[in-house]
Structure formats: C-alpha cells, structure tokens
Structure 1
Amino acid sequence: MIRLKKIALLFIVGFSFAAHAQNTYKNWPDIIRKNNASWFGTEEAKKIAENVLLYQRDIGGWPKNIQMQNELAPVQKKELLEIKKTTKETTTDNGATTQEMLFMSKMYAQVKDDRYKESFLKGLNYLLKAQYANGGWPQFYPLKKGYYTHITYNDDSMVHILNVLKEISEETDFYSIKPSKEIVQKAKTAFDKGIYCILKTQYKQNGVLTAWCAQHDEVTLLPAKARAYELPSLSGKESAKIVLLLMSVKNPSAEIITAVKNAKVWFEKTKITNLEEKRVLNDAGKVIDKKMIVVQNGSPIWARFMELENNEPFFCDRDGIKKKSLDQIGSERRNGYAWYTDEPKEVLKKYDSWAVNNGVKVSENPSDKKKANFLTVAQDGSGGYSKIQDAIYAAPSFPYDKVTIYIKNGLYKEKVRVPEWNTNLILLGESKENTIITYDDNFSKVNLGRNSTFYTSTLCVEADDFTASNLTIKNGSGDNGQAIALSVTGTRVRISNCIILGNQDTLYLSGKNAKQYFKDCYIEGTTDFIFGGATALFENCIIHSIKSSYITAASTPQESEYGFVFKNCRLTAEPSATDVYLGRPWRIYAKTVFINCELGRHIKPQGWENWSKPDAEKNAFYAEYNNTGEGFQPQKRVIWSYQLTKTQADQYSIENILKEIIPNWYSSKQ
C-alpha cells in the first residue's frame, strides 16, 4: 500500500493535468457514444462538428474509418470541399453514416445550428435512398463493384441502419431532430421492408431455419462470399444482433416469432463451451498472438464462420482455403480478425423474458425446462403464485440448474427473503418500471435494538449464485432513518437493469468473501446509501443522491484486495443536494474507487470524509481515475486519497475483481 501511495503521488501532477483535458477518447466512435451530453455544447465539439460536415458528401453519406476529431490542415479541407459533390466511398460499413448522424443529433440537442439538423436529415435521406427494393442494403451506395453490392449484415451494418429507422418511425426521443411526418412514414415503410428482408434471408439447413450469413446475394438472397477469407457461411456474430433487433419489434408477427425461436435453438446447438481464447499482447497493447485453450465448462462462445451444411467452424487465410482450427492459419489473419464471439449470449439471456412477453412457450421440449424450474408470479391470478415469497418457498433447494421466477408487472408489497439454500435463483421482472417490490420497514419501526437496520430490507438475498433483473426494489418508509431496500450477503450475485430506491442505507452489500455485480442499474438514496464489506463492481449505473450527505460507507475487510468499484457510472443528484461526499469509512480499511465516471457538480471538491476516524486516513483506500464532470476536482481532493495511473487503473478489470471464484460467472452478457 505504501508503494502504491508513492507511485500515485509521483504521477499526480501529470495526471491532474491530463484530467482537465476536455476529451480523453482517441477513437471516433467512442467520442460519439461516451461523452456526456453537455460536452457536445463545448468549443471542442463544435470544432469537430466542422470536420464532420466537411466529410459528409452532398448525397448524405460519409466514408468509413475516419478519425474525424483529428485536426485538418488547410489543404485537407480544400480536398474535402472538392469531393463533396462526389459519392466517393460513401458507406454504412463499420458504423459509418449512422454514427455521424448520432453525432449530429447530439450536437443539435446542445447547439441549435441548422447545419447540424440538415446534415442529419441528409444522412437519413441517404439511408432511405440506398435501400434495395427487396428491403436490404448494400455495403456502399451508390453501388461499388464487387462483393460490396451484397446485402450486408457484416459488422452489423444493416442492423445499425434499421435501428436508426426504428427510432425515427416510432418517433422516440432518441434523436433530437424530428423529421416531417412524411419522412417518418418513409422510415416506417423502409423498416418493415428491412425486417421482411431479414426473414427472407434466414438460412434453411435441411429445411430448418437457422441463422444468417454476413452477406447475402442481393438477387437470390443466398449466402454470399466477400473477401477471400470471408466465405459463404452461417455467422455466429452477425446473427446475434439480427435476432436482438427482431426481439425488439413490438407486437411481432408470427413470422418474426418463428425466426427468433429457430435462431435461439441454433445458438444453443452451436455454442462452444470447451474452448477459451487467450491473447498475447506486446507493450503497446497490440495482439501478437491468439491461442484457443481447452477448458471445462467455459463461458459460451460461437465461431464467426460455420459450414452451411453442418455448422462446423472453419477458418481461412487470404488464400481462401478452409482450415479446421485457428492455429492452422497464418499469424496475420489469426491475430488481425475476430474469429470467435460471445454476442449470442445476449440473445439467450433475453429469450425467456421475450418469450413470456409474446406468449411463446419458453421451451418446446418439457424436459428442457421442468415446471419446477420456471415459476410465474402474477397478481391477477394468471401465474402459479400471487406472492413472490410463495414462489421462492416452492422453488427447489440447491438445484443443479437455474430456477427462474418470472414476476409479471404489479406492485408487490411484501418482504422477500431468498434463503441460502435457494441457490441458482433468478428473479426476472416483466419490466423494471412496473414490476415493483416494496415494503416500508425502518430502524424505528422494526425496533429490535442496535442492529435493527439489518432487519429492514425489502429484499434480502442470502443465497449464492443469485440473479435479479428488470425489477424495482424499494424501501418505501421515506426519510425516516436507516431503511434497506436490498440486502445482499450471498456471493456471485448479479443485479442488472434494476431500480433500487430508498433513503438512508438503501443498499447493503456484505458476506464473507462475497463478490457482487451491478450493471445498468439506477440506485437512489441519502446517507451511506451504498454500504457494507463485500467486493462489488458497479458498471454503467446511475447513482443518485437525494440530499447532501454521503454516497458510500464501505467496511471492506483488511485482507480484501477490492471493495466498491464504480466504472462508467453517472453520479447525479436532486437540485437541493449540493454537498455530497463520494464516501466515508464505516470501517477503517474501507476501499472505494471511481473509474471513468461522470461526477455531477454536487460532489464536494474534497471528495472523501474520514468519519472522525484518523486511522482511516492511513488505512482506507479511496481513489479515482479518468473521471469527468464538474464534480471531478482531483487537485482539491483530500491528500489521503489517490489519483490512479493508467497502469494501476487497468488492474480494476472485471476479470481481476470478480473472476477468480468461478471463471466466467460474471459475464456481462450471461
């Protein structure tokens, strides 16, 4: 720890300077997707927008693989002006055009410059013009000779287009620019034609629907070849995003339901669980070798290319000759291409909920999903149970397979306990906004002595290997002292896409050697509203303070390497909450780290407080790295906190924090 402090102090001056840079993203797509909304109103963003306008051709499209944030020399600007009237290299490949449209939408939301609006609408018109009569899109438009004319699912090109048209046709608030009703109707027609094309191109293997190829012939709709090493094949990668798009369609037709069901079966059939990819990196972080290692019960992966006849994976070098394994091709293609993917795990993860919502049997084979392993709770009597706790009582103890309790929308006013023998349990809500578990216990109401706080939880999870998603978990007692919404003492617990509401002590995380994972959650409270001694990783969460107080109160055991780690989170607050600390130590060895987070102005400049425990200043570990926002003031933090170097921050990977107990249990797509 002493050595770490010295390293941190040595680099603090350089890091503090870097932290003030307005934009830390090097890749163009990251600049668009990862910057907060207010950044798009800065002078830096406006300067980049001028480049984006220059790169857009008059037809409406953009070229691909351009780092548009890079400064342009006068001669480059002149060249771009000269070719604007041409259609040179306009494409939707590698995210081109759709990502620039998103940039222009975010710019227009902050700066009402009509040029941004016009640019977006020209891009939309380009997408509409580029569509084939059969509903597909080529890789380049106007058409470029060669395989570029094929209907292109490769790198999710067509899915990106359809997602744009879906937002436009449904008139959502995703884009700040609102087209005319006529354009909205055109977008709806184009979207429907695109879905029709997807359904027509789903490959039949021995008469059974399976998945999709990266390219399909624009006339015959059959799988087609692209580059020499991209032979006609079923794609484990591109098919995943296609299915997720189909699953997002409201009130799906029978044809869409059939397509999704068959694709899901194919993904189950083709998953690989006995191989794991190992990468060797050089000092610059570049992959210099890939090897496939044999493992037992590995996290599922899929080959990118599979034989049309029998789903066997194959690999190709630039000579176009099929090989059976990755190690049989040269290092240039082996290391420079993505041959495996885990993207279909997102389909398998979401399938059960999608199936129930659309009246589809979760399994056509009763032996695949025993009744005891899928229970439904519904207040209207349409499920097997009207109370969540009753379904938990009915669930098998220490099951070998996952047990899912599907909870339909409703307000469930009950205290829920998942005992330690209900392992492998999933609580799956119908929707996070409308599937609500709530109770109103608090310290005074329970009145069981000095430890009354720990009896107040609305949902108490004591079991290992627990999952919850699509739920609101609320302690509704109001601002009346300690009152837990969610208490977790089990390990290997995953909470995703949930809303967790309370005031003081909203979320209690503990358990001996416990590892817990929160992803895409909204967590709200007042004082010490995330507290306890567990190791917990929070990713892409919104942490909302209701009043001026403290966010975290860790009680990390001395021997634990990690405590609470927040990555890519947003810290927000009510307007009245103007003085909020990142944390204070419940116990003196508290560990809390914020990495790549957006900190609102409510965060106090000093960041941390010692809770009148001088020993905590010597033993606690409070640190930050690469945060942004008005609340990130590293030069004003208390002197006993740390600003990490990149090397130090890299140690806070999901693998290091969570993986050592059971490999791959934590996966963000499981």
Structure 2
Amino acid sequence: MNRFFQAIFAAAWAAVSLQAFPDWDDALRQSSDWYGSAEAAQVADSVLAYQTDSGGWPKNLNLAEPPSEAYLTGSEKARYPTIDNGGTTTPLFYLARVNAAQPDAKWRAAMQRGIDYLLEAQYENGGWPQFYPLREGYYSHITYNDNAMVRVMRVLEEVSSGESVWTWVDEATKQQAAAAVEKGIECILATQVRVDGQLTVWCAQHDVETLAPAKARAFELVSLSGGESVEIVRFLMDIETPSPRVVAAIEGAVAWFSKVAIPGMSSELVRDANGERDRILKESPGEDLWARFYEIGTNRPIFVGRDSVVRYELSEIEQERRGGYGYYGSWPKDMISKEYPEWRSRLALQSEGPVLYLVGDSTMADKPRPTTPEKGWGQLLREYALLPLRVDNHARNGRSTKSFIDEGRWDEVVSRLKEGDWVLIQFGHNDEKEHKPSVYAEAHTSYRDNLRRMVRETRAKGANPILATSVARRKWDDAGERMVPTHGDYPLVVRQVAEAEKVPMLEMETLTTALEESKGVEGSKKLHLWFEAGELAIRPEGLSDNTHYSRLGAREVAALAIGEMRRLELPIARYFADALVARDGSGDWDSVEQAIYKAPQGPEGSPRWIIRVKHGEYRERAYVQRERGNIRLVGDSPETTVLVEGIHANMIGPDGKKLGTFRTPTLQVDGEGFQVHSMTIANDAGPVGQALALRVDGDGVVFRDCVFKGWQDTIFVNRGRHYFENCYIEGHVDFIFGGGLSVFENCHIHCLKDGYITAAATPAQQEYGMVFLDCRITGEPGVRTYLGRPWRAHAQTVFVRTEMSEVVRSAGWHNWTGPEREKTARYAEYGSYGEGGDMGERVSWARQLSRKEAKELEVNAIFESGEPVAPFAPKP
C-alpha cells in the first residue's frame, strides 16, 4: 500500500472490532483480519449498491448502510459519480481489501467497472474532472481540490503494479492504468504555475483547455494552493526514477513553500461566547504556518468569504467561513523537514555518478526549517554541485565523531558507499565538550581513532575520504584585531591523521579564521546569526550566535571548501561550479547575462570559470564578450533550465530601424572556448520572420546536451569552429546557417514545417562547413524538408550515417533558385538511412562520399587544421 493511503487508513492496522457501522468512515478503520469477516462482506455488498451505471460512486454518503428508498428516488445530484471527497477511490480501495481477504467475482467486477470509470473520465491532457459524466461549471475543471486527482492517481498506480490487493487485475488494465498515471504526471507538470520564470505550486483547480488556474466555489478563487499542492509534491516524490522535469517540479515547489512560510505563528480553532467556531492566530516561536490560498504574483495570503471578495486578513471575512474552512495549516511541515531530505537522499542512492557524503556537525548540516536564517555550509555546497555528482548531507546538529558512530549514523553512510564515491569528514566542535559524555572524544585518543576508522572504512568500500579541520568560531581578542582559536588540539589531530593516512585535507580552520578577520569585528557578524530583539519572529528575544552561519556565511565557507578541493586538485573538484545563477534570488546572481559579465578575466591558461544555472525560465538575452570566453555554463537540464527571448528581425530597434536578422539572438557568443551544457536556448518569437536563438562568432565553442528552439534561423554559426554534441535543434527555414566550421554529433534535428534545414555560407578556401555525424532527422506530421540550400556559392554541408525520416525530400538538396551554385556548392552524404535516406533520387550535383572519405570525417580530423581539439575534448 502506498504512503498516501497508509496515512489515510493508518488506524486500519490497529486491532479494532466494530459491532455496528454508524458511518462509512468506520469501515476503513479495521484490522487486516477484519476484512475477511462476514461483517466486512455485508458492507462490501452495501458499497456495490451505490455504484452508478457509469461505474463511479457518489460522495458524502454512508456507504456502510444499504441505500434507502429516499436516496434511490431522491435528488439525482446526491447520486452523481465523482472523485471528490473520496468518491469512487475510497470504495475501490475498500472493495480491494475485502476481495483480497475473501475473493468474490462480484466485487472484482465492480472494481473493474470502477477502474474503467476512472480511465474513461481522464481528459486527453491527463487531468481529471471533479464529476464524470461532466457537469457544467467548475465541476469540469482539472481538480486537485481536496486531493481528488492525486487520490485517483494513487489508486491507478497501485492497480498498475498488480501487487498486494490488486493481483487479480489483468495485464491490459494494468498497462492502461500505468499509461493514465504517466499522462497524469504530464498534466501535473504542465499545470505547475510559473511566476516570473520560477516554478511555484498549483491552484486547487485548472482550466481543462488552457491549463491556467481556475475559480471554483465563491470562496475558492484563482490562487496558489498551500494545501493541495503538498500532496501533489508527495506524489511526485514517490516516483521511483524521477525525470529532470519531475525533480525541478519538486525543487521549485519546496522552494516556494519555504519562501511563503509564516514564521513563529500557529492557528487555533476556538468557540465564541455563543459556542460558534472561530479561528485565531497566535505567536508560537517554535512553529511555522502556511495559508490555504496565496495570491499569484505577490505570494500574499488571501481570504475569501461567500461574497467572493479578496481580503488580506482572516478577521475581515465572516465568522462562518473563518471557523468552517481551513484557511491556515501546517500541511508542508513534515514534507519539508523530513520527506524532502529523505527524497534527496534517495536520489543520491540512485545516482550512477559519484556521491559526496558529508559527515559532520551543525556547522555543516542542512537546516530544514524554512523560516530559520541558519544554514550549514554543506547545505550551500550542494547548490554548487553539478550533475552527475550528488551531495548527500548526513551532518547533524550536536554530533561528534563519538555520537555519530554510537547512533549508527556512520554505519548508515558506509552501507551506502560505492566505488568512486567521496566522504567529507568534519568534526571537532562537539568532540571537545568534556562536560557532555555522550559526545566527548579526547583529541589524541578516541577522536584520532574515530577519524582513522572513518578513513579506513571509507577506503575499504572503494570510496575516497577527505578530512577537514573544524571551521573557526567567531571569537575576537580584546583588541578586536585577531580571532582567538577555540578548538585546542583537535585541528592538529586532523592534520596528523591526514598526513599519516595520506588523506587530502581541507584547511577550513585557517581559511575561515582569515575570512572572519577580513570582515572585521562588525562585518563578520553578517556571516553568523546576529539579530536584535524583535527582528526575528522565531527568536523574538534576539540572537547572538558566533558559531552557526547565515546564508551568506554558509555560501562563503562552501566557496572556501570548493577552493580547497581545487587547490588539492581532487578529481571531485570538477563537479563544482564557481558561481550560481538562481531565478529565485538564492544564488550569486539571478541573471545569466549578469553571471557571465561578472566572471573573472583570467590570463590565458587560467582554469575555466564554471557557472551553474539552476532550473527556471530566464527571459533575457545574454552576450559573451570576446575576453570572457573561458566559461562553462551548466544548466540543471535542458527540460528545466531555459534561456529564452522573443526578439525578431522586424522589430524596431533603438535607432528607429528594423533590427534585422543578426541583432536578434537570445545568446550571442564572441568569446573563444565558451561552453554550454544541459540548457535550452530558445527564441519564441514564432513565425514572424528571422529570429535567432543562437549566434556564434567565437572559436572553440562547445554545446553539449542542449536544446535549441526557434522558427526561422534558429542557429547562426557565423565564424569559428564549433562542436554540438547530443543536442536537439528545431526550426522551419534555414534553421542552421552560417559560415563557421560546425560539427553536429549525435544530434536530433526536428523540422516544424516545410523548409530547409541548413543554409551554409562556407568560404571557398574553408575545407569544411557543416558536418553532421550520426544524427537523426524528424519532423511534424506531413512536413517535407530539404537538407539544405547554399546561402553562399561555396556552401559545404555533409551528413554522415544520419537517420532520415520521411520528412526529408527525395531530392535532398535545393539550389536556392541559383543553378550556377550547383557548380560550386559542396553537398555530400554517406550512409544515410531511413525513409528519407534513399540516395537514389538525390540531385545530381550532390555526391555520395566513399567509405574512406567518411572515415576521415571524425571530429579530431576535422579540427586538426589549426589548434588540436583540446577545447572540444574534455567532458564535465
């Protein structure tokens, strides 16, 4: 049984026996043995009596008692099948439990009809309406309200597994259920509300046509849901192998929940003098609160009475609504503090790449409470990590080497280790506490022995240990000129163990001492937690903490750790960025252009500056200056990290003239050696003329695992040498054009409309222009396209071992209505295959390469005129 239903039916596992059924809820709170009883069968027969002709069940009824005559002859509305309030899903679950205990064909037949009902009710876009058959009004919206759609997907997910109580389900139904769940996931991802390029959460209901947030009842207006969105995130976190889009959806939603939490408050349901219910807010420094509804764009909690007027204070709506509706709650609390960290840890375990395990104390640990300003430096280190590296932070507040081992935390880390992983070990802050026997470890005996054990057990698993001295406490001498060491011999012991065991060591004590001193007595307070009374809701009395870090302090210490890894030339250092771009403001920059502009201009031969761009839509243009080429831009994934703008040639520029083609790119690269990985670069101007997604004038430029979207003139490779690997490129007319030497290897070319893929302008003296190696060409249904036409007379384009679908015209190439260009254009193919790959009807002025010529068209051979392919070879 999945976690969702375990929570709903938690009491069912208790040994409870009922003599009667006052209501339907009691039938769902039984021991597993009870479902095999005659009493359970009697209730199941009653449930069958409520099933409608469509296969679904109504809601808000006591299904444990047979339907009355009044019900059968009364209002049709009461009998209407639905997924709301547990309608259909709860009866299905109950019947499955009873059938597992005492199999009966009639119950299986009813369940099959119920499953078919859910499958039939699903919209083509993957959503489910509240009522089916459809009813007019908000009932036809895609309905997350009261977790209706999530309940359906949970049931179908269990059905598709064919396990537990669903072993009787046939293969065809299991496959249909699995497909419905996949479509439902796509709907969830498509309806997640994006504000200013950032993923947030969901509305309680969405329009079936536009997928936009939609209004329901008078007091349920368009908004972001702080309630229903929690179960959506939980469902996504239960997906066994989440796609990058699912990961981004979870990360975006959790970040939003953290951002909108109301610190130091709780809500309480009370009774007034007349015994009527009311809801009040009160200060609770140890608690955090969330609103049920948030205004889209401002994130202000909103409250709506039956008059449908938005108000920003709960006290301003009628008492009946204040006491009769859950406008406040702590719904995301456990999800953020427990389930989300566990989910991240599961991702690390699934990783085929290396995992960096962090073990240490509170200075390194994650701080899951969203409203605390305290952050561990390991928490910020994770944000600079680049895939496929995963950072799994096991550091915990108050731990020493002794307590970390005694509590079994170290054994848990060891059990997870695989060959090639890394373990970063930093203790000492608590080991030195002689007054606490549970954590105290004497420096030269047990502390030393514990560190040695951790090092040796890490190596025994084929993993790599890294030691780190403790970070400095902020303690100044009386003159306020120098920091006073507080860790005694503990850093010395770390150094000794590192030398004896030949372990790399991060000199964090020395570096953090220098960091504190560089800020001065007052400036260093910003690295820590200093608040006056009344400044911090969760600590109204104020706070003066010289040990733990603020976000700023944690980020600067994480940067020191990355710098140390680079200084030691550890292989893991290549998986960390130097700067972080985050659309939500949590990074060093919130703009790609800004991060590129602020990158250092080191001398030739300097290490490449790496910028991680977190998931989000960055609606901006970015320009890479010639002197800033030594940069690698790395997105979280092309599905989730998007740089996009909609500038086209017919727009009027600042000079009052049309921009023209060459001033429209979303990304323009003049810098040499620039690299982009795992991003989408797009121009969404649409079919309005020339509109570049990318313009490249720099040499040695590399794009790996990227997506390029546009319409006409998507990619302009103007000059220089360029390498595209595992990229997706779409467009309509001349959407890969220019005079550069550009190799496309293992790329997917997709044609949106009849047109031309390439328009090369290769200079006559240049041997190569555009070379496509082991690529694939597809297109929209009915589209027919040419492989290319010569923009300039000596255009050179060649396709080698390319799969060509039926979209490729049999002639292959077009002369741009210039027969004279047939004499100079250099078009060729080798090993084309697929419906469009037949060379039999190709134009006579294009040639087929020999095997020897094709073999020579390898990346290194193409680029060997001039510099070797050094800028193209190394992968991150």
TM-score, normalised to structure 2, is: 0.40
Q: 1:77 to 1:89 in 2, by over 3 A?
A: closer
Match of 2:813 in 1: none
| CA distance in structure 2 between the partners assigned to 1:191 and 1:172 by the alignment | 16
| CA distance in structure 2 between the partners assigned to 1:383 and 1:209 by the alignment | 23
Task: Establish whether residue 140 from structure 1 lines up as the match of residue 131 from structure 2.
Answer: yes
* Per-residue deviation, 1:373: 10
Match of 2:268 in 1: 278
| CA distance in structure 2 between the partners assigned to 1:178 and 1:242 by the alignment | 28
* Per-residue deviation, 1:102: 0.7
| CA distance in structure 1 between the partners assigned to 2:266 and 2:393 by the alignment | 41
Q: Is the 1:303–1:341 Cα contact (8 Å) retained in structure 2?
A: yes
Match of 1:262 in 2: 252
| CA distance in structure 1 between the partners assigned to 2:227 and 2:395 by the alignment | 40
* Per-residue deviation, 1:270: 0.9
- Give CA-to-partner distance per residue, 1:624-659, whole Å, 9 cap, x none: xxxxxxxxxxxxxxxxxxxxxxxxxxxxxxxxxxxx
Q: Is the 2:16–2:31 Cα contact (8 Å) retained in structure 1?
A: no
Secondary structure at 1:136's aligned position in 2? coil
- Give CA-to-partner distance per residue, 1:62-103, whole Å, 9 cap, x none: 000001123544x358649x98xx995110001111000011
2:52 to 54, 57, 61: 57
Secondary structure at 2:45's aligned position in 1? helix
| CA distance in structure 2 between the partners assigned to 1:283 and 1:120 by the alignment | 49
Task: Establish whether residue 194 from structure 1 lines up as the match of residue 180 from structure 2.
Answer: no
2:145 to 147, 154, 170: 154
Give 2:247's aligned amino acid: I
Secondary structure at 1:289's aligned position in 2? strand
Q: How does 1:417-496 map to 2 (within 5 A)?
A: none
Match of 1:42 in 2: 37
* Per-residue deviation, 1:109: 1.6
Task: Establish whether residue 407 from structure 1 lines up as the match of residue 403 from structure 2.
Answer: no
Q: How does 1:324-473 map to 2 (within 5 A)?
A: 324-348=312-336, 349-359=338-348, 368-371=375-378, 392-393=400-401, 407-408=412-413, 410=415
Secondary structure at 1:358's aligned position in 2? helix
* Per-residue deviation, 1:345: 1.5
- Give CA-to-partner distance per residue, 1:545-593, whole Å, 9 cap, x none: xxxxxxxxxxxxxxxxxxxxxxxxxxxxxxxxxxxxxxxxxxxxxxxxx
* Per-residue deviation, 1:149: 0.7
- Give CA-to-partner distance per residue, 1:138-165, whole Å, 9 cap, x none: 0001100000111000000000011111
Between structure 1 and structure 2, the one with the greater Rg is: 2
2:307 to 319, 322, 326: 319
* Per-residue deviation, 1:310: 1.2
Q: 1:229 to 1:411 in 2, by over 3 A?
A: closer
Match of 1:168 in 2: 159
Gaps of 5+ in 2: 1-14, 357-365, 383-389, 418-429, 441-876
- Give CA-to-partner distance per residue, 1:189-247, whole Å, 9 cap, x none: 11000000000011011110010100011110111000011000000000100000000
| CA distance in structure 2 between the partners assigned to 1:351 and 1:184 by the alignment | 29
Task: Establish whether residue 220 from structure 1 lines up as the match of residue 213 from structure 2.
Answer: no
- Give CA-to-partner distance per residue, 1:96-121, whole Å, 9 cap, x none: 11000011011112222211111111
Q: Is the 1:315–1:339 Cα contact (8 Å) retained in structure 2?
A: yes
Secondary structure at 1:302's aligned position in 2? strand
Give 2:246's aligned amino acid: I
Give 2:401's aligned amino acid: Y
Q: Is the 1:92–1:98 Cα contact (8 Å) retained in structure 2?
A: yes
Secondary structure at 1:299's aligned position in 2? strand
| CA distance in structure 2 between the partners assigned to 1:20 and 1:217 by the alignment | 43
Q: 1:168 to 1:72 in 2, by over 3 A?
A: closer
Task: Establish whether residue 98 from structure 1 lines up as the match of residue 89 from structure 2.
Answer: yes
* Per-residue deviation, 1:315: 0.5
Q: Is the 1:106–1:176 Cα contact (8 Å) retained in structure 2?
A: no
Q: Report % sequence identity.
A: 35
Q: Is the 1:202–1:259 Cα contact (8 Å) retained in structure 2?
A: yes
Q: Is the 1:168–1:184 Cα contact (8 Å) retained in structure 2?
A: yes
Match of 2:685 in 1: none
Gaps of 5+ in 1: 1-18, 376-381, 397-403, 424-670
* Per-residue deviation, 1:357: 2.0
- Give CA-to-partner distance per residue, 1:416-462, whole Å, 9 cap, x none: x9966659xxxxxxxxxxxxxxxxxxxxxxxxxxxxxxxxxxxxxxx
Q: How does 1:72-111 map to 2 (within 5 A)?
A: 72-73=67-68, 75-76=69-70, 79=73, 88-111=79-102
| CA distance in structure 2 between the partners assigned to 1:384 and 1:333 by the alignment | 44
Secondary structure at 1:54's aligned position in 2? helix
- Give CA-to-partner distance per residue, 1:9-44, whole Å, 9 cap, x none: xxxxxxxxxx99724775423422x21122223332
Greater RCO structure (CA 8 Å; 6+ sep): 1
Match of 2:113 in 1: 122
Secondary structure at 2:179's aligned position in 1? helix
* Per-residue deviation, 1:304: 0.6
| CA distance in structure 2 between the partners assigned to 1:387 and 1:309 by the alignment | 36
Q: 1:41 to 1:282 in 2, by over 3 A?
A: farther
Q: CA RMSD in A?
A: 4.1
Q: Is the 1:53–1:119 Cα contact (8 Å) retained in structure 2?
A: yes
Secondary structure at 1:140's aligned position in 2? coil
Secondary structure at 1:243's aligned position in 2? helix
Give 2:128's aligned amino acid: W
Q: Is the 1:165–1:191 Cα contact (8 Å) retained in structure 2?
A: yes
* Per-residue deviation, 1:172: 2.6
Q: 1:56 to 1:408 in 2, by over 3 A?
A: farther
TM-score, normalised to structure 1, is: 0.51
1:28 to 24, 31, 51: 24
| CA distance in structure 2 between the partners assigned to 1:372 and 1:331 by the alignment | 43
Q: 1:383 to 1:319 in 2, by over 3 A?
A: closer
